[in-house]
Structure formats: structure tokens, C-alpha cells
Amino acid sequence: MTTTRFAPSPTGNLHVGNIRTALHNWMLAKRDGGRFLLRIDDTDQARSKEAYVDGIHADLAWLGLVPDGEERQSERLAIYEEAFERLRAAGRVYPCYETAQELEVRRKIQLGRGLPPIYDRAALALSDEECAAKEAEGIAPHWRFRLDHAEPIAWDDGVRGAQKFDPALLSDPVIRRADGSWLYMLPSCIDDIEMGVTQVLRGEDHVSNTATQIQMFTALGATPPAFAHEALLVGSEGKLSKRLGSLGCDAFREQGIEPGALVALLARLGTSLPVEPLADRAELLASFDLATFGRAPARFEEAELARINHGIVHQLTYAEVEERLPEGMGEAGWLAIRPNVATVAEAADWWSVVTGPVEPGDLSEEDRSFLARAAELLVWSETPWADLTGALKAETGRKGKALFLPLRQALTGRAHGPEMAALLPLIGEEAARTRLALAAKSQG
């Protein structure tokens, strides 16, 4: 069974890049009838906040990305400890005592000599006595995973194709800090093994991490999952700006963006498939294929999101928006107004046209006379707009803008808007006749 995971750290709110990663992992699993898991990477106790965990849950629920299971790394520390001891006994992890400053000096020296700035494994030359002496001085070690330099690290990436790394050109990664806390690399592998993850889909900034983690999987006696690394999001200026990079579900909700619009956009952003306002997730899932993902950065533009949102809003049923509509607005009102709104919130403005009062604006004397006659000719029926305009056209000879615009201004106070054939029955006979008569008496 295909099993994917989304593994955010609860040190802040989800932003658009996180959301895209979560969505694609959900789609990859659901397309194949598999499982989508949520893992809260909260080993950084100083920065992890429960409020952010709640926010992650709320955002995924709003987007309709319901996990099939959830784990917290803070509750799995004993599992990490046991695996760490196995690796230590096998000689695959080793203690290091350099300070950050010492490592930075070495790095600069290597760069100055034209060498790759990787860890020189100096700690491996320390004897047990030397290590004990350092610890007796109060120097606690951090721990590195020892890479096997015997052969290249290779895998077939789901997006990038064949990948190959020379492990000798990679630093042995630090997996545990001097205070005993864990970094991302090793616990993530342990969790993927324990949770049965079969596919890891993440950003291309993790490619070198994958190279080292493949050796960790092997050292732990497990077959690595399939890896795929998608291009990162960028803005219109060529990179993901700080503002754009911080955009999350709260900001999108405030802008009136529908979750379906965000899903429709991010589902295909960076692929060869057209980005369309597809509200049917089954259709999005059926077309989801890593083979369509490109290597070029995926450009996220808010104008494009607004366009998709516009299309999604125009597909929303009354049942989907009922609780967000102004009081008194029923299904007929929503269906009449829906073609003229870009967000659901705009429905309140258009509903005020129905409930009134309205100001007709400046009208010529000729138009006021025309409206006075309209008030007299208004006969309520199943098709009051067609009947009224038909009678006025026959009697006055007016047509087109000269016929329709004065009526719209008198009845709605606007020069444009929803179809009057749908709007007039909502306004009602009494209100419509009153508005026509008041417009006829208005000052030019």
C-alpha cells in the first residue's frame, strides 16, 4: 500500500510551500488508495508550540486533507535511543567535540584551498582516552553518522530521474546535539521505517539529505522508500519572497480564497498540466502523476490564485455557502448573485441591492419619464422582467442600453450587476414599483 507522510515542525504556521507539500503527499497516497500520515516533528522543545500543532490540524481540515494516522516525535524518543545505540555498536555513529567556531575555521581553510567544505573526520582519530579526557573537562560530544565511502549513493528520483552522489564529498551529518536532542535526519528515517512509509515526496532542497538518509536506512536494516524531489515555489520576482513565503491558510481565508481554489492551483503548479478551477478532487487525483512535474521552479502568483478562486466560487452550491451568506439570502438569491462575485463575502454587497434602499443616481428628465411609465406598466408574473421590458420596448421604441440601463439604475442603484431577470423577482413587486416611482421623481 502506498503510504506517504507530511512532517511539519510546530515552530510556526504552515505557509504556502508547506501546504503544497502536504497536498501532493495526500494526492500521491489517495490516487493509489493508500494512506496519508501526519507526523509532528516536535523534537525541538524550545521552539515547538501546541498552538502551532492546533493550527496544523485546523489548516489540514480546512483544506480537506484528512490524515489516516498521526505520530509525534516527542513521544517516540525511546525508539530513537534504541536505534542510536544499535548504530553506535555497529560503528556507524561517533562522538565529536569541536565547537561551532572551530568547525567554521576549518571550513574557511578548506574553501581557501579550493577543497569541498566537508567535515574532515578528525574526531575519528581520537582515542577512547582522549574522548574521556574531553568529557572529564565538561565537553559534551555531538554525534555524527559515519557515511560509507565504499560506493556511490544512487537512486531513481520520481521527479529528477537518476541521482548519484559520491559519499566522500559529503559531510558525515550531525544527528544529535551535545545536549542530547535530535536533529532531523536520523529520527525521520526511523519514523519512516516504523510508520511503513513507502514514498517520500518533498522539496528539492532535501536532495543531499536523501543521499545521506539512504545510507541511514541501510544501516538500520531497512529498504529505503521511493524518493521524489519537486521544484520549489518562487514568486513573480523569481524567488519566494518573505511575505509570500509566510502566506498561510489564515491569510488566504481573510482574502476570501476558497480551499478548493488553493488545492486546484497547488495540485498542478509546476507540472505540465493546465491549472484550472477544478472543484472535483477525483478529477485532480486521476491526473496526478509525478512524471508531469518539471525541474523548473514552480511560480506562485496571487493573481493566478484569484483567477482560480473566481472560477471555484462560481461552482459553489448554496449548501456549500449557506452559513456564510447574509441573513435572508436563500438559494435563489445565491444563484442570481453568484456569477457576479469573486469571493463569497461579496454576496453581502450584492444582497444589499435586493434588500435596499438604493440610490438611482443621476437620471435625465427623459429617463425619469420613462421610469414613471415603467412603474405603471409593471405587472407581476412569473417573468416580470421580460414582460416589463417587452411592454416598454413596444410602447417607447427603446432598446439596448437605452432600455435596460435606466431600469437597472432605478431598481438596483448600479449600472451593472446580476441578471435582472433573476434579480427582479428577489426584489419583489412592491419594492420594485416603489423604486421605479422614486427614481422617476428624483432630481436630475
CATH number assigned to the domain comprising residue 377: 1.10.10.350
Q: Is 365 exposed, middle or buried (0-12, 13-18, 19+ CB in 10 A)?
A: exposed
**Same structural domain, 367 and 420:** yes
Amino acid at site 254: E
Q: Is residue 326 part of a domain?
A: yes
**Same structural domain, 372 and 344:** no
Residue 70: CB atoms within 10 A of its CB come to: 13
Q: Is 56 exposed, middle or buried (0-12, 13-18, 19+ CB in 10 A)?
A: buried
Contact between 189 and 220 (Cβ < 8 Å): yes
**Same structural domain, 337 and 402:** no
**Same structural domain, 371 and 428:** yes
DSSP state of 182: B
Separation of alpha carbons 143 and 384, rounded Å: 81
DSSP state of 246: T
C-alpha distance from residue 268 to each of 37, 127, 235, 294 (Å): 21, 55, 16, 11
Centroid of chain to Cα 356: 39
Write the CB contacts of 245 (distance below 8 Å, at least 6 apart in sequence): 15, 16, 17
Separation of alpha carbons 235 and 396, rounded Å: 56
The pLDDT assigned to 243 comes to 65
Cell matching residue 164 = 548519484
Q: Which of 354, 382, 399 is the last residue of a domain?
A: 354
242 is an annotated ligand-binding site residue: yes
Domains contained in the chain, number = 2
Q: Which domain holds residue 338?
A: 318-354
Q: Is residue 434 part of a domain?
A: yes
Q: Which of 331, 354, 377 is the last residue of a domain?
A: 354
The pLDDT assigned to 242 comes to 58
- Count, in order, helices (H) and strands (E) of the chain: 20, 12
Q: Is residue 384 part of a domain?
A: yes
Q: Is residue 388 part of a domain?
A: yes
Residue 335's closest CA among 318, 348, 320?
Answer: 318
Contact between 360 and 439 (Cβ < 8 Å): yes
The pLDDT assigned to 26 comes to 98
**Same structural domain, 360 and 376:** yes
The pLDDT assigned to 240 comes to 60
**Same structural domain, 345 and 365:** no
Cell matching residue 367 = 429617463
The pLDDT assigned to 444 comes to 59
Torsion region of 339: left, alpha or beta (phi above 0 gives left; psi -120 to 50 gives alpha): alpha
Q: Is residue 340 part of a domain?
A: yes
**Same structural domain, 360 and 350:** no
Residue 189's closest CA among 153, 227, 154, 149?
Answer: 227
- Radius of gyration of the CA atoms of the chain, in A: 32
Q: Is residue 198 part of a domain?
A: no
Q: Which of 309, 328, 354 is the last residue of a domain?
A: 354
Q: Is residue 36 part of a domain?
A: no
Separation of alpha carbons 315 and 44, rounded Å: 43
Q: Is residue 188 part of a domain?
A: no
**Same structural domain, 430 and 362:** yes
The pLDDT assigned to 241 comes to 55
**Same structural domain, 433 and 360:** yes
**Same structural domain, 361 and 397:** yes
**Same structural domain, 423 and 383:** yes
Strand pairing class (161-165; 153-157) = antiparallel
Separation of alpha carbons 66 and 63, rounded Å: 8
The residue to which cell 480546512 is assigned: 62
The pLDDT assigned to 245 comes to 64
**Tens-of-pLDDT digits for all 444 residues of the chain?**
999 999 999 999 999 999 999 999 999 999 999 999 999 999 988 889 999 999 999 999 999 999 999 999 999 999 999 999 999 999 999 999 999 999 999 999 999 998 889 999 999 999 999 999 999 999 999 999 999 999 999 999 999 999 999 999 999 999 999 999 999 999 999 999 999 999 999 999 999 999 999 999 999 999 999 999 999 988 876 666 556 667 889 999 999 999 999 999 999 999 999 999 999 999 999 999 999 999 998 899 989 999 999 999 999 999 999 999 999 999 999 999 999 999 999 999 999 999 999 999 899 999 999 999 999 999 999 999 999 999 999 999 999 999 999 999 999 999 999 999 999 999 999 999 999 999 999 875
Residue 229's closest CA among 243, 217, 213?
Answer: 213
Whether omega before 167 lies within 30 degrees of 0, making that bond cis, reads no
Amino acid at site 134: K
Separation of alpha carbons 248 and 86, rounded Å: 40
Quick one: which H or E segment has residue 243?
helix 242-245
